Amino acid sequence: MGLTRVPGLLFGGDYNPEQWPEEVWEEDVRLMARAGVNIVTVGVFSWSRLEPAPGVHDFGWLDRILDLLHAHGIAADLATATATPPPWLVRRHPEMLPVDAAGTRLEFGSRQGYCPSSPVFRDATVRLARAMAERYRDHPALVMWHVGNEYADHTAECFCEESARDFRRWLERRYGTLDGLNSAWGTSCWGQHYTDWAQLAPPRKAPGPVNPTQVLDWRRFSSDALLACFEAERRVLKEVTPGIPVTTNFMSILHHLDYWKWAAAEDVVSDDAYPDPADPRAGVKAALSYDLMRSLKRQPWLLLESAPSAVSWREVNVPKEPGTMRLHSLQAVAHGSDGVMFFQWRQARYGPEKFHSAMLPHGGTDTRQWRETLALGADVRRLAEVAGSTTSAEVALVLDWESWWGLEAPESLPSNRLRLHALLLSWYAPLHARGIAVDLTPPDRDLSGYKVVIAPNLYLCTAEQAAALAAFPGRLVVGPFSGVVDAADHVHEGGAPGPLRELLGLRTEEFWPIPDGLTQEVVTADGTRLVARTWSEWLEVDDAQVVARYCGGPLDGRPAITRRGRATYLGCLPEDVAPVLDEVLDAAGVTGVTGPDLPEGVEACRRGDLLFLLNHGAAAATVPLPASGTDLLTGRHLHGSVDIAPRDAVVLKH
């Protein structure tokens, strides 16, 4: 079963026909059909064209384009068009524009100009979503609903009075009483005791550091406030068109939204991924975010946007070399995407994205970009059988948004250098290099199917989460600064690792961050030397084996890495975690899909009964094959090993 009723993999992109005269549409659909495009996302920013005046709808042009698409066999991921409210609505209700932390109201003239808590905005989106659903419920092109667009991209939070009222209601639901709130927020500190709900406000710009629990609750609230916008539209869509899947496009590993919660409210997880072609680690970072997408609902997801070549929003927008678009696209499919889609179909001639690449560039069809678009369409068709297949992983990385928000709260931690994304990558990269499949998981989902679970950091860890980790029967690895605070961001009694103390058999007596640029040597029991940066801890071991000790520096000779039974703890951040990781993988019996000999730069990834081999490196690589079979991309029969050129790929069926 695919994500939609379109058979095979989806191939297409964002299409903004309203930016072009209708004569161009005919050429568009003809070229789409030639490239094998079977779906386009339409209407994302079309509110001002679809509802030019209050309650007045102009659906004519959208009718025509949907008919035209359908006549050429192209389906629509139809947006509810609510990503940018129209000028008339904003001018009538200027209070619906978002306000920043310093109290400045942001102007119209860009996109996402809305306060997530604005009832005016929410009501208007729901009315438009209903009008869209009623008009297109039976349109044969409609296969998926696209709500909003990249929630939290520009507007992740709003500090206006309306948001303040919404935040207070959210706090009342969470705490019930002011006593409950005062105690959770620790308002005895710095004289913040509240005596009336009306005194509560968002964490606006203040003279000094703002109450960290207030900030944490604000993060929770802001994710929920946007989710409520999504859910309000979704309810209408499900009522009118129950059979059409609903999605909203995620932004890879995004700090502001708790995607575990969001994914549960969606039918299909979709993602926008823009790995930077100038970043040598782009491949591994993309893989990590794709694995998150695959893990969110434990089912295939959809790469809904990616760049054919350069983007237009970095300081320097480097294009993709020939072959890179294909490689990046196949990588998403390898990691569970049931399609390859782009921003956008035709390159714009005006607006902020006129230099953003497109499937069909300014130069038209006599361009290498267009030729690569055609070739990719053909490759995507060759992989049709991949659709619907899944991946099973033996290793999971723990990612919890509330803990992330706590860890990256501004101004009140021993060090601001612990960044969750980097910590996740430090474990993910060596797993990826070994061809080992990785899921992401919240700490309290059922972990019993894994052999290894790694929590690179779990700063905020509740007793329930600790119990779930303790009950996990496989090998557990816990990174530093974990089990520090509870859900209210209060330090656990007795200090870290709080509820993990018994499981790990130790306590952290002092945090000992390492200044920028300095390193700390760590030596394992068998003499392996590791270089640690950024963080160390003064550990007191109650009941655990010392795996490695600090060598030199203020913690000289003290335990740095420990093990108690199946649980390993790191009080430090080795630059290279491989020695620790390999021991754990060995003990758990986890190996990569191609065995130990995966050449550097080559990614190996199993999906269903297919093995994807992707060469991200600059040199040709010879990859040993675990079995003989057929390369779906070329039809070649392969056995023994295969040579893969830089940026080339093999999809082995055996």
Q: Toward ligand GAL, which CB reaches closer, 190 or 313?
A: 313
223: phi then psi, degrees, rounded to nearest 5: -65, -45
**What does 158 interact with, of Zn ion, ligand GAL, none (CB < 5 to 8 A by kind)?**
Zn ion
Sign of CA dihedral 421, 427, 430, 433: negative
Amino acid at 238: K
Which single residue is written with the structure tokens 């630059």?
575
What 3-state class would DSSP assign to 256?
A: coil
Q: Which of 158, 327, 455, 478 binds Zn ion (CB under 5 A)?
A: 158
DSSP state for residue 552 in the 8-state scheme: S
Check if 305 is active-site. yes
Q: Toward ligand GAL, which CB reaches closer, 162 or 353?
A: 353
**Contact call for residue 156 and Zn ion (CB under 5 A):** no
Q: Toward ligand GAL, which CB reaches closer, 254 or 590?
A: 254
Angle between helix 282-296 and 324-334 (nearest 10): 30
**Contact call for residue 163 and Zn ion (CB under 5 A):** yes
Please state, in angstroms and rounded to a whole number, the distance separating the CA atoms of residues 455 and 479: 6
Q: Is the peptide bond before 520 cis (omega within 30 degrees of 0)?
A: no
**What does 567 interact with, of Zn ion, ligand GAL, none (CB < 5 to 8 A by kind)?**
none
CB 464 within 8 A of CB 405: no
Please state, in angstroms and rounded to a whole number, the distance separating the CA atoms of residues 248 and 439: 21
**Contact call for residue 133 and Zn ion (CB under 5 A):** no
Q: Toward Zn ion, which CB reaches closer, 58 or 224?
A: 224
Write down the least CB distance from residue 558 to ligand GAL, Å. Answer: 47
Beta bridge partners of 475: 452
CB 580 within 8 A of CB 489: no
- CA nearest neighbour of 118 among 80, 175, 70, 159: 159
Q: Which of 32, 90, 115, 128 binds Zn ion (CB under 5 A)?
A: 115
Write down the least CB distance from residue 245 to ligand GAL, Å. Answer: 19
Q: Which of 150, 162, 353, 603 is catalytic?
A: 150
Q: Which of 35, 160, 216, 488 binds Zn ion (CB under 5 A)?
A: 160
Write down the least CB distance from residue 149 to ligand GAL, Å. Answer: 5
- CA nearest neighbour of 40 among 64, 70, 60: 70
**What does 311 interact with, of ligand GAL, Zn ion, none (CB < 5 to 8 A by kind)?**
ligand GAL
Q: Which of 157, 162, 305, 353 is catalytic?
A: 305
**What does 383 interact with, of Zn ion, ligand GAL, none (CB < 5 to 8 A by kind)?**
none
Check if 23 is active-site. no
**Contact call for residue 97 and Zn ion (CB under 5 A):** no
What six digits make up the tokens of 431?
């797993």
Q: Toward ligand GAL, which CB reaches closer, 246 or 307?
A: 307
Write down the least CB distance from residue 225 to Zn ion, Å. Answer: 8
Please state, in angstroms and rounded to a whole number, the distance separating the CA atoms of residues 508 and 496: 5
**Contact call for residue 226 and Zn ion (CB under 5 A):** no
Q: What angle do CA 460, 464, 469 make, to 5 degrees?
A: 80
Please state, in angstroms and rounded to a whole number, the distance separating the CA atoms of residues 429 and 438: 10
Note the residues at the interface with ligand GAL (CB under 6 A): 149-150, 153, 272, 274, 305, 307, 311, 343, 353, 356
Write down the least CB distance from residue 79 to ligand GAL, Å. Answer: 10
DSSP state for residue 119 in the 8-state scheme: H
DSSP state for residue 386 in the 8-state scheme: G
Write down the least CB distance from residue 91 to Zn ion, Å. Answer: 17
Q: Toward Zn ion, which CB reaches closer, 118 or 309?
A: 118
**What does 484 interact with, of ligand GAL, Zn ion, none (CB < 5 to 8 A by kind)?**
none
Binding footprint of Zn ion on the chain (CB under 5 A)? 115, 158, 160, 162-163
What are the catalytic residues?
A: 150, 305
